[in-house]
Amino acid sequence: MPVKIWNRADSTLSSVVETVRPASLRGELFRAEAEALDREIDEMLDRAVALAADVKTAEAEQRAFVKRWAVGRALMESGLVQSKHLDPGEQMSLWQAIARKCRLGVRADGSSEKAWQELTPNREPDPTRLERDVFAVGLWLQEQELATAMMAFGGSRTNAREIYRRGAIRTKNVRDVLARWFEELEPSQRLTLTKPGNFLPLARALATRFPGRGPGSAKRPVHYSDEDLYAEICKVLDPIADELAPSGAESAIENPKSGR
């Protein structure tokens, strides 16, 4: 699937076509297809804006998490990624095309769309990282419904990235079980453990239990039933939770009559 990569220099908009197809004069002969795709991306980004607007949350980090999920869900609904026309090796170009449209806020007809610029962070200088962290993570996040994903990561992109970058524990069943594990904690424990500094030991412990390589790496989370995986994850995470956020700790601190 040839993609159209927009650019703006000295206030002039320009574009190149990228594809892995052979005999294409650097993709230029497939510009009509790339422009059709560009219009589909417009619809997808409009849908992402609408999905994000449906969720009301005041907290900035959660807002950013919701946007990332919304981009992923809109991408999935659009069918762009699953398209049989997307040749191997072209997915990075698709991310680049979408990221560039967001960054420049440019529709297929060249008109401006400011709302898209808020879908992507504006302080990430490395385009590869932007594309990987935003679109690939968004697509991954949306495999769960928003409420479940919010529960698994406390609505934090940083927490989500800690799991995402550890390939062996990236699976949906780990995240579903993680959400279930958090759900069964007291709200105060949950709040404490989803702070990025406290979430990191949880992610590390899971990665140690399910290594990505070396001894013990062949049996992966995906090979467990949900119940067995839940039991394993409780075994790994409960001791850390007891240490970092003991049950009832907050009520003890908040109650002046407790004598502490």
Partner 1 sequence: MQSVALPPGRHTLRADLYLSGDVVAHASRTLDIEVDPAQSQDWPPFRIEQISSDDPHPRWQFDKSDPTSWVLRYPSGYPLYRALDTGPVRTTQRLSGVSAFVVDVCAEGIIEWVMDPVDEGDLSRLDDLLSGTPAGANPDRWENYSDKMHELAALRGYTGHLDEYNRLARDCASRSLSLFEERD
- Interface residue list for partner 1 (CB under 8 A): 7, 12-17, 19-20, 22-32, 35, 88-89, 110, 213-219
Give 29 or 81: the residue with its C-beta nearer to partner 1.
29
Give 216 or 246: the residue with its C-beta nearer to partner 1.
216
Burial 56-95 (b: 16+ CB within 10 A, else e): eeeeeebbbbbbbbbbbbbbbebebbeeeebeeebbebbb
Calculate the CA 77 to chain-centre distance: 15
Neighbouring residues of 89: CB distance < 8 A, sequence distance ≥ 6: 20
* DSSP letter assigned to residue 9: E
Give 68 or 101: the residue with its C-beta nearer to partner 1.
101
Residue with tokens 């992610």: 203
Helix axes 172-183, 157-164, angle to 10 degrees: 140
Is 112:14 a contact under the CB 8 Å cutoff?
no
Q: How far is the CB of 112 from partner 1 (least distance, A)?
A: 12
Identity of residue 2? P
Q: How far is the CB of 114 from partner 1 (least distance, A)?
A: 18
C-alpha 53/C-alpha 63 separation (Å) is 10
Q: How far is the CB of 199 from partner 1 (least distance, A)?
A: 27
Q: How far is the CB of 237 from partner 1 (least distance, A)?
A: 22
Q: How far is the CB of 183 from partner 1 (least distance, A)?
A: 31
Give 20 or 136: the residue with its C-beta nearer to partner 1.
20
Give 35 or 46: the residue with its C-beta nearer to partner 1.
35
